[in-house]
Amino acid sequence: MSERFQAVQTVQKIMEEKVFFNTLKEAETSAFINMLVLTVLRRMVGLEEILSRFVKLKFKKSEQILKYLLLCGAAEILYLDTPDYAAVSEYVALTKKACGKFASGMVNAVLRKIATQKPKSDKVFPASFQKILEEDYTPEQIKKMEIAALSEAPLDLSVKEDPTLWAEKLNATMFESKTLRLKTQGRIESLPGFQEGTWWVQDLASALPITLLGDVKNKKVLDLCAAPGGKTAQLLSAGAEVLALDINPERMTRLEQNIRRLHLEKNLTTRVSDGLQFLKQTTDIFDIIVLDAPCSATGTFRRHPEVMHFKTLEDVNAQIPLQQNLLSAAAKHVAKGGILLYCTCSLSKKEGEQQIEHFLAQNPTFHLHTFSKDNFLTFSTVQKLEKNIFDNQVLRTLPYDMAKLGGMDGFFAAYLKKD
């Protein structure tokens, strides 16, 4: 089967079955398929708008593939390097094979018009995703997020030690928070340091909450929603004793594999359990509890453009009670003077700032702790983060922060200190 047709079928599967691309990707997925699928997912709303100027995008159930052939064809013509004539003839041939001569005539006519007119659309977010953002952000902020949604997210790594050495080896930009950002996206497994377990993939934004915690050496930490283990790895490499818990056995297996590859298993205990059940049963007290809560994940749309298509306000609202319950159950197990670190990769303030306001109103023994950048690297070659990421009492990053350097995920974190 041609790579193009594989890409077409993959987009169809993602959209119709609401599955994430990374769960379908095989180790040998080619760079071309990767690029085409991600381009269509990022540009889908605009592409649909453009195509609907030339054709009704409603097809019989058995011919739904036509919509995806048109989307991929238009994406190649408008956004990838394929010469127009090649794109048109490839998609016409694929359509003829999949749906017959009549359909291929339609695809030919539509793609030729697109190739000649090179139409544009500035639409990016589906209406349902836009609705989530409108609750908290201005039209200008949303516009900037749309721009961020169109470009490829860089590859960010967290390193166990020697970030300067590894920045050099990997030809990466080093941020003051120790994240290394790579210019080129190669196969992760073949990059230097992967086999030895020197680093793991972790977006700059999602690495910040633990980095900011500072010295966690010998601290007793409960990582309550731990899998696949990015934050667990940070805690372990900084010398903490970690109990990592997650409700999902498959994700926990991935955490264990990740931590073994990094040779960080020494101070780790794992447990598959519902966090609420565990907190009800245990009498243990922890210096730090990390609650990287299940959330709508709306902040990750640069890396996972599917999020824009799948998530609705209902999904955001559905997460709130569990987040609240986990927060208040965790509060009972934090030592005096200890920290409850709450974070989410959601852009919705209902899952972030408002959760914390609610928590503080219910839990007067806790107050917001202001974190500082003291634990950051300070030498001259490191890339500084924008100040506005930190200047509230909570951490809030947006997908267009650091835009010139490739942006970062939308993330929220609050450090709740127990008196």
Contacting positions for ligand SAM (CB under 6 A): 225-231, 245-248, 251, 274-276, 292, 294
Strands (E), 78-187: 155-159, 172-174, 179-182
Amino acid at 198: T
Query: Shortest distance, CB of residue 368 to ligand SAM, whole angstroms?
Result: 21
Instruction: Kindly tell me which of 46 and 352 has the beta carbon lying closer to ligand SAM.
Output: 352
In the complex with ligand SAM, the residue whose CB is nearer, 74 or 414, is 414
Whole-number Å distance between alpha carbons of 139 and 147: 12
Residues 6+ apart with CB under 8 A from 293: 225, 319, 322, 323, 326, 327, 342, 343, 344, 351
Bond from prior residue into 321 cis (ω within 30 degrees of 0): no
> How many CB atoms are closer than 10 A to CB 337?
9
Give the β-pairing of 366-368 and 286-292. Answer: unpaired
Q: Closer CB to ligand SAM, residue 275 or residue 410?
A: 275
- The distance of closest approach from Cβ of residue 252 to ligand SAM in the complex, given in angstroms and rounded to an integer, is 8
Compute the least distance from the CB of residue 396 to ligand SAM, in Å: 16
SS3 243: strand
- Give the shortest CB-275-to-ligand SAM separation in angstroms: 3
Whole-angstrom Cα Rg for the chain:
23
Q: For ligand SAM, which is the closer residue by CB, 98 or 222?
A: 222
Q: Toward ligand SAM, which CB reaches closer, 125 or 411?
A: 411
* DSSP conformation class of 192: T
In angstroms, give the least distance from the CB of 356 to ligand SAM: 17
Question: Least Å distance between CB 376 and ligand SAM?
Answer: 19
Residue type, 133: L
To ligand SAM, the closest distance from the beta carbon of 166 in angstroms equals 20
Measured CA to CA, the distance from residue 373 to residue 383 in angstroms comes to 13
CA dihedral 195, 196, 197, 203 (to 10 degrees): -70
Nearer to ligand SAM, 43 or 350 (CB): 350
CB crowding 166-198: b at 16 or more within 10 Å, else e: bbeebebbbbbbbbbbbeeeeeeeebebbeebb
Angle at 80 between CA 76 and CA 86, to 5 degrees: 50
CA–CA gap between residue 345 and residue 412 (Å, rounded)? 6
The residue among 33 and 159 lying less far from ligand SAM, judged by its C-beta, is 159
Q: How far is the CB of 297 from ligand SAM (least distance, A)?
A: 7
CB of 339 vs ligand SAM, minimal distance in Å: 16
- Residue reference for tokens 């972790």: 202
Q: Answer for the pair 384, 176: CB distance below 8 angstroms, yes or no.
A: yes
Centre a 10 Å sphere on the Cβ of residue 389 and count the other Cβ atoms it contains. Answer: 20
Q: Which is nearer to ligand SAM, 113 or 251 (CB)?
A: 251
Nearest distance, CB of residue 350 and ligand SAM, angstroms: 16
The two structure tokens encoding residue 366: 């806790």
Closest to ligand SAM by CB, 184 vs 277, is 277
Nearest distance from C-beta of residue 306 to ligand SAM, angstroms: 16
Phi first, then psi, for residue 384 (nearest 5°) are -80, 150
8 or 245: whose CB is closer to ligand SAM?
A: 245
Q: Which is nearer to ligand SAM, 145 or 295 (CB)?
A: 295
CA distances from 90 to 43, 85, 111, 156 (A): 21, 9, 11, 35
Return the structure tokens found at 203. Answer: 């977006």
The closest of 251, 254, 339 to 289, measured between CA atoms, is 339
Round to whole Å and give the CA distance between 246 and 252.
6
